[in-house]
Structure 1
């Protein structure tokens, strides 16, 4: 069974420049999820990444976003973005199930021991250098 959710044009534009395996995972996750989500960011420029580090929103200049190997999403509830933490493990469950089904190695920022990042998913650097 699929969720019936669809990506908006904005989400589709954010997906466009990502690694094809990450796109496949995101599309399948949207079919599997209980919680609708939008793609807020895909590939980033170096200038954008530097600005995020300066603002404290990221801690690295080696972000997987720079190479199209990472995606940020936001829960979409009743026509708006929601940042409530309990929504993100539910979205992550769909991403992890999609990745397992497709044989794609991903990491979820919500599993990181420090600087947990619930909206962030990336292709595993060990498999996708």
Structure 2
């Protein structure tokens, strides 16, 4: 496949750690599912609003430091939230991260509050 990041996705990557931006770009180049970046760097106010709304459980999100991104699958130009799509996107992220020697964590691998659209740099290497 040959997908490209939209101008909107690139804007949402501003302030995101360059190593994670490189993983996003490499993942999209190898992904069989198109995706867009929905969120990268967050303000503390935005994070607090997400916690209050129940969309997040932490005030210590990796989004606050530019170490995390959320993506949305695109099928025929439409955002889709079907869980299997995110597993396929995660495969592309994991291969891209391994190729770039950049350890990442996929929210879909978490045992509680699984978060398929979420990818972050591993805290052990990127504190």
TM-score tier (shorter): over 0.9
Corresponding residue of 2:89: 91
Tell me how far apart the structure 1 counterparts of residues 107 and 92 of structure 2 sit (CA, whole Å): 14
Unaligned runs of 5+ in 2: none
Q: What TM-score, normalized by structure 1, do the two folds share?
A: 0.97
- Counterparts in 2 of 1:52-63, with a 5 A limit? 52-63=50-61
Aligned counterpart, 2:118: 120
Work out which of the residue numbers 37, 59, 73 in structure 2 matches 1:75.
73
TM-score by length of 2: 0.99
Residue ranges of structure 1 left out of the alignment (5+ in a row): none
Residue 55 of structure 2 is aligned to residue 26 of structure 1: no
List structure 1 segments (4+ residues) > 6 angstroms apart after TM superposition. Answer: none
Aligned residues: 127
CA offset at residue 79 of structure 1?
A: 1.2
Deviation at 1:47, TM superposition (A): 0.3
Partner SS, residue 86 of structure 1: helix
Secondary structure of the structure 2 residue equivalent to 1:16 = coil
